[in-house]
Structure 1
Amino acid sequence: MKTLYLYSTREGQTEKIIHKIASELDSTNADFIDLHTDPQIELRQYEKILVGASIRYGHLNKKLYQFIDRHADLLTQKNAAFFCVNLTARKEEQGKDTPEGSAYIRTFLKKSKWQPSLIGVFAGALLYPRYSWFDKKMIQLIMKMTGGETDTSKEVEYTNWKKVSQFAQKFKN
């Protein structure tokens, strides 16, 4: 069985998550492709497809929607799943780490021609030292407004790896 792992990431956390999922499955016959490279992919050769994308400033990358627009029919026909990575999902006690509780997933489902049957929502990582000055200040402001970490010398990984593993098992079946 051949699997395609597609991802849209900024600082690499989404790619890290997709590789963690693949490591829990048989990924010997798999391709990993960054959606930002605007790949021309023949989806028919894959039995399973996993798409992961991160949120930046409240939005998924345009290239994700462009890809979905081109391939919505095949994504619907295939065993395909989607996950979203964002910092709001760190608020698990508020249900922000679920498809039902994620405003980003609600927006995605309204904008997307593809309506995946399996959707995951994972908290990402806050990597202040790696951000540009502008991004650092903007994200710091957002985190201050939402009760998050504001010390710009820190890197904080909020990803719940147990939840990622549970999603991997659902994708496997």
Structure 2
Amino acid sequence: MKTLIVYASSHGTTERIANIAMEKLDKNEVKIINLKSKQKADLSNYETIIIGGSIHAGSIQREVKKFIKDNTIALMQKKLALFLSCMNEKEEQLEFNNNYPELLRNHSTYNAIVGGEFIFEKMNFIEKFLIRKIAGISASTSKLRYTEIDNLVNAVRGQ
């Protein structure tokens, strides 16, 4: 089963999640594309598409939004899974719903909210300031949900 994983990552967490998923699937059957690289993907070569992004100030990366907008019709013809990296546990479902169109959410085999990370070493001064002020966190922290990543992979495999 040829699978394409497309994602956009701001500080590396979504990229890490995409790579974890690829490692758990058959690596020989998986291609991974960072949408920020501007690399094009011919969706007709894949049976399954996994799309991932992360939330910053309530929105997913514009590259993910554009990919979805440009490929909605093709995505509806594929097995699809969606994942979102998000640290705001109280608003995560709302943010997922606001950033992935209902049509795709309903078509998707699995919709995963996989937690997230604040990696202070990769943030600029303003980002660090905002995280300290809004989230009350002053050091790098990880709240990745590895079980949810496994659930996503198992759903894609059909297990």
TM-score under structure 2 length normalisation? 0.89
Q: Counterpart in 2 of 1:143? A: 135
Q: Counterpart in 1 of 2:45? A: 45
Query: Shift of residue 113 of structure 1?
Result: 5.9
Once the two structures are superposed, the pairs formed by residues 72-151 of structure 1 within 5 Å of their partners are 72-89=72-89, 102-110=93-101, 114-115=104-105, 116-117=107-108, 118-144=110-136, 150-151=137-138
The runs of 5 or more residues in structure 1 that have no matched partner are: 145-149
Q: Counterpart in 2 of 1:11? A: 11
Distance 2:67 2:39 in 1: 9
Query: Shift of residue 39 of structure 1?
Result: 2.7
The runs of 5 or more residues in structure 2 that have no matched partner are: none
Distance 1:68 1:29 in 2: 22
Query: Shift of residue 40 of structure 1?
Result: 2.1
Query: Shift of residue 37 of structure 1?
Result: 2.0
Once the two structures are superposed, the pairs formed by residues 19-58 of structure 1 within 5 Å of their partners are 19-58=19-58
Distance 1:87 1:3 in 2: 27
Give the AA of the match of 1:166: N
User: Which consecutive segments of 4 or more residues in structure 1 shift more than 4 A?
Assistant: none
Q: Which has the higher strand share?
A: 1
Distance 2:150 2:100 in 1: 24
Distance 1:166 1:109 in 2: 19
Q: CA RMSD in A?
A: 1.8
Distance 1:21 1:109 in 2: 19
TM-score under structure 1 length normalisation? 0.82
The 3 A distance-change label for structure 1 pair 109 and 131 is closer
Contact 1:8/1:52 (8 A) holds in 2: yes
Contact 2:52/2:64 (8 A) holds in 1: no
Distance 1:63 1:47 in 2: 22
Q: Counterpart in 1 of 2:143? A: 158
- Any idea what SS the aligned residue of 1:28 has? helix
Distance 2:6 2:157 in 1: 16
**Deviation readout 1:3-31 (Å, 9 max, x if unpaired):** 11111111111111111112222121221
Percent sequence identity is 22
Query: Shift of residue 66 of structure 1?
Result: 1.1
Contact 2:116/2:142 (8 A) holds in 1: yes
Report the number of matched residues.
Answer: 156
Contact 1:7/1:52 (8 A) holds in 2: yes
